[in-house]
Structure 1
């Protein structure tokens, strides 16, 4: 039986996950914490680039590419629904 495979960059993935949760909570608690939330999400992106780890697609879609802010409906972004004609 071969030895179990080790997960490459497990610590980096845990750190990315923690930073995402922290940024999300800071944004949800109070919109005045937008600078702290932005710092957490920016650090999360830097960690992923340094360790050559991909951020999950669902998480990537919740981060603004321009300002690196977590997108929370009603607080930091607007959602519009268009009806089909």
Structure 2
């Protein structure tokens, strides 16, 4: 079973929840919320993926990013594409 290494980054599940509520970008909030649910539910990645309409492989990638780089690893970064015509 794939697990988050919260101790490595000196974090708790509540820290993930706080990030999910306060992150600047909606995709970052989505990632932290999925990671939080993974620590709380007792379900595997596939069950959470079904509930979030994301592919299980995507959630697994987020877990690997978190385990390798910590919270900064799952923060959304614009990597390409056109900038929005209207900025909020």
In the superposition, the TM-score normalised over structure 2's length comes to 0.29
In the superposition, the TM-score normalised over structure 1's length comes to 0.30
Q: Over alpha carbons, which structure has the higher Rg?
A: 1
Bigger RCO (CA 8 Å, 6+ sep) = 2
Higher relative helix content:
2
